[in-house]
């Protein structure tokens, strides 16, 4: 079976063609600058990407190009049997992946207010794909779904409860597909069993979040109503005192839009360093002695360590910590710094294993470490493909024909 996995941003469309049964990635790529005078598509695996100039006025034209390109690149004609769509916000309604029908589309639209940067783009992708491939099942996989097991005490904010009743203002959490994947993978490759396990998953990429996973279920996570709070991110501020917003409006005479943009696009590692959001570049400059880059990295690691401590408390101890995503998978230096000073909590890295684990699935803790520490590459697309396959197989017919 071939599943096309689609992840749409406001001007981008990422895709992977996966056979979920063999877990094989067949093709992948991204179309960027959708809606601009000329768009750019990059297709193929990391070692030999090929770039194309593309005319894509909207997501539908981008997807049309992708579908034609998939056929061009395959030896035989490719039959796509299902499409899996990444959807960022499922509100409180979706605890699992679902077959997309009109009702699901309405619910994704209802969550626009909760994720104004993401859900509209995700829906664009769904509508384009349903129009181009109406005869096959389309499945939505939500970033929030894995966190729907978080108990009420952990998801309620200390605000008047009518705000939750009326507007569903609460902690949701994101990167759920990634936290789910790496926690399940840990049970596959370690001797830990899901029952009786206390795991902290650290998704450290451009966006960053952590989750406390008890017996395989998420019971707390660092993001909230939106993906803005929690850890320091590439351009997002993570946790800040909400009063800062009022202070900025008053002192700098900023509009709400400007504050929104400051916190989402010009803060985090970029804001602190005044140089870059990209951890690789920051590590390089820090090494050369740039003080602001050094400080940005220190704040990033300090915040992450603080959340580890918090989840040790939430879980009443910890059996394993898992690092994943761009930084978590690839940076021994950041993992070392995040875990440093946690010896009294039973965390001891093995420096050589840590160094060796760059983009590899590996245990990186010392043999005498009470807490196991792992680096596990995430694979959100595979989860989406597997869910789409399962749901497509049970769907009698698609709602679109």
User: Does 327 help bind ligand ADP (rule: CB under 6 A)?
Assistant: yes
Q: Do the beta carbons of residue 20 and residue 11 sit within 8 Å?
A: no
CB-based contacts of 229, cutoff 8 Å, min separation 6 = 222, 223, 238, 239
Asked about 290 being catalytic, the answer comes back as: no
Span near ligand ADP by CB under 6 A; candidates 24-32, 184-192, 291-299, 324-332: 324-332
Task: Using the minimum distance from each CB to ligand ADP, give the nearer residue, 145 or 325.
Answer: 325
Instruction: Determine which residue in the list 81, 190, 206, 226 makes contact with ligand ADP, applying CB under 6 A.
Output: 206
Q: How far is the CB of 330 from ligand ADP (least distance, A)?
A: 3
Task: Using the minimum distance from each CB to ligand ADP, give the nearer residue, 101 or 333.
Answer: 333
Instruction: Determine which residue in the list 280, 291, 360, 370 makes contact with ligand ADP, applying CB under 6 A.
Output: 280
Task: Using the minimum distance from each CB to ligand ADP, give the nearer residue, 173 or 205.
Answer: 205
Q: Do the beta carbons of residue 321 and residue 211 sit within 8 Å?
A: no
Count other Cβ atoms within 10 Å, centred on residue 101: 15
CB-based contacts of 223, cutoff 8 Å, min separation 6 = 171, 172, 173, 174, 175, 209, 229, 230
User: Does 84 help bind ligand ADP (rule: CB under 6 A)?
Assistant: no
Residues 119-149, buried b or exposed e (16+ Cβ, 10 A)? bebbbbbbebbbeebeebbbbbbbbbbbbbe
- Subset of 232-271 contacting ligand ADP (CB under 6 A): 234
Nearest to 220 by CA among 325, 311, 134, 130: 311
Q: How far is the CB of 18 from ligand ADP (least distance, A)?
A: 17
Task: Using the minimum distance from each CB to ligand ADP, give the nearer residue, 224 or 268.
Answer: 268
Which of these is catalytic: 76, 113, 143, 367? Answer: 143
CB-based contacts of 345, cutoff 8 Å, min separation 6 = 309, 312, 318, 371
Span near ligand ADP by CB under 6 A; candidates 92-100, 104-112, 203-211, 338-346: 203-211
Interface ranges with ligand ADP (CB under 6 A): 205-207, 234, 278-280, 283, 325-327, 330-331
């Amino acid at each position: 079976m071939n599943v096309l996995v689609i992840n749409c941003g406001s001007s981008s469309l990422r895709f992977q063609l996966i056979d979920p049964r063999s877990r094989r990635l067949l093709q992948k790529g991204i179309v960027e600058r959708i809606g601009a005078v000329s768009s750019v598509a990059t297709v193929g695996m990391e070692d030999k990407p090929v770039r194309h100039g593309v005319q894509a006025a909207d997501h539908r034209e981008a997807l049309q190009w992708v579908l034609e390109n998939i056929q061009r690149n395959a030896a035989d004609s490719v039959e796509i049997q299902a499409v899996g769509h990444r959807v960022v916000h499922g509100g409180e309604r979706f605890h699992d992946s679902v077959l997309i029908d009109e009702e699901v589309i309405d619910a994704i639209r209802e969550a626009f207010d909760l994720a104004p940067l993401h859900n509209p783009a995700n829906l664009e992708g769904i509508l384009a794909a349903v129009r181009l491939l109406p005869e096959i099942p389309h499945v939505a996989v939500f970033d929030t779904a894995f966190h729907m097991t978080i108990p009420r005490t952990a998801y309620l904010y200390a605000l008047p409860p009518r705000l939750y009743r009326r507007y569903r203002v609460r902690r949701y959490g994101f990167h759920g597909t990634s936290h789910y994947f790496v926690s399940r993978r840990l049970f596959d490759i370690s001797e830990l069993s899901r029952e009786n396990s206390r795991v902290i998953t650290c998704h450290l990429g451009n966006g960053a979040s952590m989750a406390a996973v008890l017996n395989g279920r998420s019971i707390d996570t660092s993001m909230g109503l939106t993906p803005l709070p929690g850890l320091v991110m590439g351009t997002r501020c993570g946790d800040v005192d909400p009063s800062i917003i009022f202070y900025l409006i008053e002192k700098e005479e900023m509009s709400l839009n400007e504050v929104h943009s400051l916190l989402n696009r010009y803060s985090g590692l970029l804001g602190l360093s005044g140089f870059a959001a990209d951890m690789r570049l920051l590590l390089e400059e820090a090494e050369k002695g740039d003080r602001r880059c050094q400080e940005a990295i220190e704040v990033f690691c300090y915040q992450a360590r603080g959340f580890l401590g918090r989840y040790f408390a939430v879980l009443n101890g910890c059996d394993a910590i898992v690092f994943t995503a761009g930084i978590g998978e690839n940076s021994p230096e950041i993992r070392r710094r995040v875990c440093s000073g946690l010896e009294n909590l039973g965390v001891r890295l093995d420096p050589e294993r840590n160094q060796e684990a760059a983009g590899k699935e590996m245990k990186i803790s010392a043999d005498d470490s009470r807490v196991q520490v792992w680096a596990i590459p995430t694979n959100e697309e595979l989860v989406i493909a597997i869910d789409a396959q399962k749901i497509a197989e049970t769907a009698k017919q698609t709602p679109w024909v």
